[in-house]
Structures are given as structure tokens and as C-alpha cells.
Amino acid sequence: MSYLSALRVSLNEKLLQLEESLESNLPHLLDASPYSFLDDAEILPPKLVFDLLEKIRVDLKAVDSMITPTRFKLVEMGMLHYKCAALNTAVVLNVAQAIESFGGEAQLCDLAMKCDVNEHKLGRILRTLTGEFVFVECSPDRFKNSRHSIALLSPGARSFISFITDLGMKCANGIPGDMVNPDTKHSFSDRTAPFCKMVSKNDQTFAEYMGDPKNAEMVALGNEGIVGWLNGLTRASLINDYPWEALGDAKVIDLGCGMGDSGIDVLKKFPRLSWVYQDLPSVIDNLKENFPDQLQPRVRDGQISFVVQDYFQSNVSDGDVWYMRGVLHEYDDNEALEVLKHLAVAMRRTPNSIMIINEVLNCSPFILPETSIAPPSEHIPSDQSCLPSTGNTMTWSTFSLFGGKERSLEEYEGLLNSAGFTVSKLYRFRTFTVMLECVLSSQSK
């Protein structure tokens, strides 16, 4: 059997399985409405369906790469930033809303007049996006929203795209230089991140830049687009793919809690848990000031508390579960090891306590043996995040902005073993993040 035939058979089988699993709730593409089964961030498809979707997408990419001439493949990849720019232009002009204001379809000339832009240029922007099924040209020079473009009515989605195409594209251009510069090639510091050379250009780190009042507009985009929208893409899986309920009335220490949003959502669904938010003084003060009214009675009862804690120092709290979301990826191995060693000391005070780490893993989209003609969907490693290509892109985004070191499972296991921990279980979420559940190595024997 040829490789093309293997891909055809694989896709046919998997698409039939998907149709059977979805029954009458089949996806649509051109209608200007969300397909809630996949597009509602609060709804998780069953694991079987989620895995099928991932495998189908991988095999479709293989078919596309197989039938695309190499010169065109490289041209298309090299010019992806223009697609990003086209998408951001549609966001800045709010084209999706403009189309809706005309009743759901609009002539190009009318859209150009409403957006106050050149008709010819706007047509090129829209046709760049219709090739990705973001907007639809339903007749010559007449456009409507698609399932994907209608999502651009969301302020959170628009803020994310503007934020990531502005800062993100600038930082991405600094990655090649970072990789070869002797002063930065082995560094994971926020002081040497591409952001510092490509955006701030005055040695300001990302955190310092975002703390500068003159950058308030970018801060607002980040808060709405990253915290408010992007984080929501992983929230349902965080709540539903880890067995929080099995923790009962455990006391959770939320180390480096930041804005506290993940803990807030967990607490709303699992009210038996006790929760200790830990971070630096300014972060804790801001969290206390903006903490939801719904949870204030549990604060007054002592079930929820706030503790000022530098995680590079001995920890003052005791707990059953030590929770870190997006903490360790901010540091190189030596700094991360320092954080973990302080945690190990604290955890020894509470027998049978556990640590849970919510991160994106560095992944291999697939590993293809030379002798295999099986489709790539049959060679996706299982000991890593789902959606590996999305996860890998996300890790470069975070590195280029504020440095840090994303790791594979194997790298995390080595780091954790050095600090006296053992990974006892890997929870693969139905998104691009995972949860590593860890115990002290002395407990695992």
C-alpha cells in the first residue's frame, strides 16, 4: 500500500467514526454561527471524539504536505505572518461587525465605505482570509461571516489577536538572533528574551513594560485577550480533566497564584476545598481587592486565605496539595530547582501531600519510523500534551515575550527527580496543557 493510500484509508475510517460519534450534531463551516460542540470553550467533546479530531487533523496535514510542491510549501510557511496581519486588520476594522450591520452579507464597496478604507486593499485582506474559511465570498465582491469569522465579534478574541500579532510578531522576529547570539543562546532569562531587543529596546522586561502606565492600552489588550479569553480555552479541561472532587476537603496551596483566576473557577465548582493563595505583596493586594463577592463568605470563614510568599524562600504554609500553574516554565533549571527544593521541605511537614503542576509540554507532533507506512496519526506520542503543534507554538510565544524554559515530560521528570520528587501521574487534558501529579520520592517507594 502506498503512503497516500494509507492516508486515504485512515482518514476514511476516522471520518466515519467521527460521523457515528456525532450522530446528528455534525459540524458546519460556512454558517455564521458557532458550532457549540467545538466552539464553546465551556463544552468539552468526549475523549474519543477529541482524539479522533486530533488524528484527523494530523493526517489531513500529511495529505496537504504530500500534494503541495516543496517550493510552494516553503513560500506559504514563510509568508504566514501576512495571514496574521490580515486577520489583525480585520479585527482592527471590526469587519465581522460591519458585515452583521448590513444584515449578514455585504458588498465590498459598502464594507470599504463603512470601514473608511480603500476597497481594493480591503478585498485583498478578505480574500486572504476566505482562503482559510475566515469569512466567505458568497458571490463576486459580496462577503458574509463564516463560523470562524463570527467569533471575531468577541472582544476577548479581538484583543488576543491584536495583542499577539503586535507584540508576538515583533518578538518572533528576534528568535533567530537569540538562538545564535553568544550572550543569549543558552539563556532563559526574561532579561535576554527577544522582547527586550525587539519591543522595549531599553532592557525593560515584559513585566516591567506591562507595568509602565504609558503602555496601559497594551495591558488592557493582554488582560482581556490573554487572561480573559485565551485562558478560557484551557479552563474547562482544568476543571473537568483533573479529579478535584477526589481531593475532598483538602487544603490547596496555590503557589504563584497571579490573578487567581484558575483557583477561583475551581473553587466555584468544588466548594469543599480550602485554598491558600500565595504570591508577592502587590499581587496579593490586587487579588484581595478584586476577589469575587460570591466567594467572600468562604474568605471570612477562613476556608480561603491569602499569604504573601516569595517561592524562592522557605514556605510558611502547610497544605495537602501544592498547586503551580504556569510557574516553573518561567525559570531555567537552576531557578526552578530552587523553587522545588523549598516545596519539598514544606511538603515533608504534611505526610502524603502531593504537588500538581499545570503546564504546556514541549511535544513531538509525531515520530515516524523510517520503515513505517502507517499514517502520522498512528505515531503521536501519548506521554505529552494533546494538540502538540498548538502547544509548541504557544511555548515559543511565551519564551519570546518573557523568556523561561518550557520542558518535555522527560525534562520535567529529570528536574523533579533532582529536587526529590517523582511524577506519579500524567493527566492529558483536552487542550494543549497537562497536569503532572507528583509526590516526594521518599513516599513513592
Distance CA 109, CA 332 (A): 53
Judge if 179 and 57 occupy the same domain. Answer: no
E strands of 295-404, at which residues? Answer: 304-308, 321-325, 354-359
Judge if 296 and 423 occupy the same domain. Answer: yes
Q: pLDDT tens, 206-251? A: 989 988 899 888 888 888 888 788 888 899 999 999 999 999 999 9
pLDDT at residue 445 in the model: 57
Q: What is the mean pLDDT of residues 327-341?
A: 96
For 427, which DSSP code? E
Distance CA 111, CA 306 (A): 51
> Percentage of the chain with pLDDT > 90?
86
Judge if 345 and 393 occupy the same domain. Answer: yes
Judge if 49 and 79 occupy the same domain. Answer: no
Judge if 386 and 263 occupy the same domain. Answer: yes
Distance CA 255, CA 130 (A): 44
pLDDT at residue 131 in the model: 96
Judge if 144 and 247 occupy the same domain. Answer: no
Judge if 323 and 408 occupy the same domain. Answer: yes
Judge if 223 and 259 occupy the same domain. Answer: no
Residue type, 373: I
pLDDT at residue 245 in the model: 97
Looking at the structure of the chain, the number of domains it has is: 4
Please identify, among 153, 187, 204, the residue that sits at the C-terminal boundary of a domain: 153
* Integer CA distances (angstroms), 272 to 244, 245, 266, 408, 437, in order: 10, 8, 10, 33, 20
Please identify, among 33, 67, 101, the residue that sits at the C-terminal boundary of a domain: 67
Q: pLDDT tens, 132-171? A: 999 999 999 999 999 999 999 999 999 999 998 888 899 9
Judge if 269 and 401 occupy the same domain. Answer: yes
pLDDT band at 444 (very low <50, low <70, confident <90, very high): low
Please identify, among 116, 131, 153, the residue that sits at the C-terminal boundary of a domain: 153
Distance CA 221, CA 81 (A): 20
Judge if 310 and 330 occupy the same domain. Answer: yes
Domain range for residue 36? 3-67
Distance CA 119, CA 117 (A): 6
Q: pLDDT tens, 342-364? A: 999 999 999 999 999 999 999 99
pLDDT at residue 201 in the model: 85
Judge if 244 and 194 occupy the same domain. Answer: no
Beta strands 105-107 and 142-144 are: antiparallel
Q: pLDDT tens, 277-299? A: 999 999 999 999 999 999 999 99
Judge if 392 and 428 occupy the same domain. Answer: yes
Rounded to a whole number of angstroms, the distance between the first and last alpha carbons of the chain is 48
* Integer CA distances (angstroms), 182 to 178, 185, 194, in order: 8, 6, 14
Q: What is the mean pLDDT of residues 85-91?
A: 96
Q: What is the mean pLDDT of residues 6-12?
A: 96
